[in-house]
Chains A and B, each alone.
Chain A
Amino acid sequence: GENVEQHPSTLSVQEGDSAVIKCTYSDSASNYFPWYKQELGKRPQLIIDIRSNVGEKKDQRIAVTLNKTAKHFSLHITETQPEDSAVYFCAASIQDYKLSFGAGTTVTVRA
């Protein structure tokens, strides 16, 4: 099955700086790569996703890049704010329903 690895496991950044989280996947047939944000005690929520026919996607301060050859994708958060503090999960999907998640990155934005 698909195996997704995520790094780093924890990330502390100064407010206003950028945060980058990287994920690798094992199955070259994966074609959908979402990122979920989970605030403490709350449910995971989709923040951005990318399909395999696109190399980069941006939504305000958040961007995701995909390198199909290397089988890795990254989340970039610019101008970080305290409300960006959360656990972020990457995932990969071969079929349109089954998501394989990374172990998560705990992001702390220091004021």
Chain B
Amino acid sequence: GAGVSQSPSNKVTEKGKDVELRCDPISGHTALYWYRQSLGQGLEFLIYFQGNSAPDKSGLPSDRFSAERTGGSVSTLTIQRTQQEDSAVYLCASTPGGQSSYEQYFGPGTRLTVT
């Protein structure tokens, strides 16, 4: 079946503008995660959704970052008033949910460049 998809694949924006990044998880996956990967770095956890609720938002770097998920499916990560340090690849992942489903299936990522 179809894997996790993300859009856009690349986004160039000017400093101060708002951006929206979209994630479509695997159909039926109840858990969804956002990560940020800066150049040469590991993956930094941002937020976790179980269904439409976000029990863990502890990784969001500032109040300029927010995310929502609707219908237990699509999620949008919004960055307001973008800064140059926001430039990174933003990865989304999903899992079926439940105690036995640990493997996270990643999307291809959105490369965000703030000029």
Hey, which bits of chain A sit against chain B, CB under 8 A?
1, 4, 6, 32, 34, 36, 42-46, 49, 89, 91, 93, 96-104
Please classify the interface of chain A as helix (H, G, I), strand (E, B), loop, or mixed, using the class held by over half of its residues.
strand
Give the residues in chain B near A104, CB-CB below 8 Å. 40-42
* A-B contacts, 25 listed (Cβ < 8 Å): A1-B58, A34-B102, A34-B103, A34-B104, A36-B106, A43-B4, A43-B91, A43-B107, A44-B43, A44-B106, A45-B106, A46-B104, A49-B102, A89-B43, A93-B102, A96-B99, A97-B50, A97-B95, A98-B45, A98-B56, A99-B43, A101-B43, A103-B41, A103-B42, A104-B41
Asked if residues B45 and A100 are in contact (CB atoms below 8 Å), the reply is yes
Give the residues in chain A near B109, CB-CB below 8 Å. 43
> B44's closest neighbor in chain A, by CB?
A101
Chain B: residues with Cβ within 8 Å of the partner, total of 24
Taken together as a complex, chains A and B put the C-alpha atoms of A35 and B113 apart, in Å, by 28
Give the residues in chain B near A36, CB-CB below 8 Å. 106
Give the residues in chain A near B72, CB-CB below 8 Å. none
Taken together as a complex, chains A and B put the C-alpha atoms of A99 and B104 apart, in Å, by 9
Taken together as a complex, chains A and B put the C-alpha atoms of A42 and B106 apart, in Å, by 10
